[in-house]
Amino acid sequence: MSNPLVECVPNFSEGRDPKVLDAIAAAITSVDGVALLDVDPGASTNRTVVTFVGSPEAVVEGAVRAGRAAAQHIEMSRHHGAHPRFGAMDVCPFVPVRDITMDEVVTLAREAARRLADEVGLTVFLYEHAASSPRRRNLAEVRQGEYEGLAARLADPEWQPDFGPATFNPRSGATAVGAREFLVAYNVNLNTTSTRRANAVAFDVRERGRVKRIGDPLTGEVVRGPDGEPEWEPGELAGVKAIGWYIAEYGVCQVSMNLTDISVTPIHVAFDAVAEHAAARGMRVTGSEIVGLVPLRAMLDAGRHYLARQQRSLGIPDEEIVHIAVRSLGLDDLTPFDPREKIIEWRVAEQGSRLVDRSVAGFVGSVAAEAPAPGGGSVAALAGSLGAALGTMVANLSAHKRGWDDRWEEFSDWAVRGKDLHARLLRLVDEDTTAFDALLTAHRMPRGSEAEIAARDEAVAAATRGAIEVPLAVMAASLEAMAVIAAMAATGLDTSVSDAGVGALMARAAVRGAQLNVAINAAGLADAALRDDYLGRASLIAERAASEEARILAVVAARMPAETSR
């Protein structure tokens, strides 16, 4: 089950009045399902960047309420600041974080733009991935002329807004709503105090590169094109803006970068490139820092990159992968780096709200309590997850065995597969209880009229299907985990073969337990054909699991020491 998470980073043309910023923040936090992560005002720019995340629907609602608050409290005709701007809610980008595509985020951005126009009365232009034409993709092009030139811009037939009034509103101006990739502000620390040398590295790596010169790259004659403008020599990294600067607080120079699309240039690629070019210029990278928040995938990609370079298994827990990333990138070189505060998904996680977030004793206590859920379905899913985890453990240990260095990728691949499966089965622990709760809710619906009876019957049928499909998913994932366990029983460490055997027992128990849940819930289906289909699918998986368990245990017995296998 996906759990999409979207970030919204609206910029407001007010950075000095805390009452206005408090009103905007209150509007955002009034939406259920939204987490306000940061409010960053700037006095000189008279501008504030707000960051919040949540479910797609909640984030759109938060953006609309924030836009309404900005329209009520900000008077653009009196605004002055150093940053380009043309509206009270100046820009409002939406960013995919987890379990959502850019195309889906574009749809969200356009829905937010429509609502800001219809419900708040704002003049709205679309930009970046949400742009209505290629010419409007670039924010600078959309905002050209800024607030002072907006009336003339709106009078141009080619620059009619995408939503809202095409007449100049002196109070609110206009708003640019877009969809973009996650932007990471990322600085790499150098063992130098020379801004000139730091800038040289920045020019080496940034996409724009440096001005072409004849002879000396710093003092040589500038090469100019037919139009008289300087020609540019591109740098190494696409989607990267960079400069070199000196940080007096720490006494070091940095290459300060904006990674505008981490799917094109990830953090670790930028770090390695800076390290390479710095070394070529006689400098050394000492660490780096992430300004603001970062998505989990960026840290996992970095950790896996450095694990692979060490020929280490990639199937270890996410927390360990992130630890490798933090150490490899030197993210705590200047200040402490707390992954729980810096990684978006971990920052907003509601720890303790899920069954799988409880302690072992807490979960067992919940099962034993005087309540029908969590019950056998959640326990079956947990058993399957433990079986998959044991297969993963054997693969990780085997990947790290002395003398098996040439096989690390083979075992790493099995470990990654096992990790994905035990994570999937852990999610099913909660999904089983959620499905059971939905079934209880459906049965409690009113039956006072024919319409209510029909609605209840439809809800019960849908909830019953859900209560069957979750344990079926547990059965399928547990059977798939047996492939990992079988491979480790046959080829993994001799000393861990018993762990593979226990994994097979747990996976088979998960299959059998989940099959019982399929059967008891299928009995409530009025559709006989559908009931038989569900039962048939469950029976087939159960037969295959029984065969796999027997095969694995036979392999385990053959590999066990002779004195213990009798």
Residues β-bridged to residue 241: 258
Catalytic residues: 83, 432
> Average pLDDT over the chain, rounded to whole?
93
> Which tokens go with 339?
């992954």
Helix (H, G, I), strand (E, B) or coil at 226: coil
- The DSSP 8-state label assigned to residue 163 in this structure reads B
Query: Model confidence over 72-128: pLDDT tens digits?
Result: 999 999 999 878 899 999 999 999 998 999 999 999 999 999 999 999 999 999 999
- What pLDDT, on the 0 to 100 scale, is given for residue 350? 53
Q: What H or E segment, with its residue span, contains residue 125? A: strand 123-128
Decide if 190 contacts 247 (C-beta within 8 A).
no
H helical segments located in 46-88: 56-73
Decide if 484 contacts 391 (C-beta within 8 A).
yes
Decide if 325 contacts 302 (C-beta within 8 A).
yes
Query: What is the rounded CA–CA span in Å between residue 495 and residue 211?
Result: 62
* Structural domains in the chain, sorted by start: 5-179 (3.30.990.10), 184-348 (3.30.70.670), 355-564 (1.20.120.680)
Number of alpha carbons in the 13 Å side-chain half-sphere of residue 98: 19
Query: Model confidence over 477-520: pLDDT tens digits?
Result: 999 999 999 999 999 999 999 999 999 999 999 999 999 999 99
Return the percent helix, strand and coil in the chain, to nearest 5.
Answer: 55, 15, 30
Question: In terms of C-beta distances under 8 Å and separation of at least 24 residues, what long-range contacts does 150-156 make, across chains too?
Answer: 150/86, 150/174, 154/123
Checking if the pLDDT of 129 tops 90, the result is: yes
- The DSSP 8-state label assigned to residue 16 in this structure reads S
Checking if the pLDDT of 353 tops 80, the result is: no
Band the pLDDT of 352: cuts 50, 70, 90. Answer: very low
141-145, 348-352, 453-457, range with the lowest pLDDT:
348-352
Query: What is the rounded CA–CA span in Å between residue 195 and residue 245?
Result: 5
Query: Model confidence over 183-230: pLDDT tens digits?
Result: 898 999 999 999 999 999 999 999 999 988 888 776 788 889 898 888
> Which tokens go with 45?
């720019």
- What pLDDT, on the 0 to 100 scale, is given for residue 351? 44
Query: What is the rounded CA–CA span in Å between residue 21 and residue 32?
Result: 20
Query: What is the rounded CA–CA span in Å between residue 557 and residue 352?
Result: 40
pTM of the full predicted structure?
Answer: 0.79
Average pLDDT over residues 413-425: 96
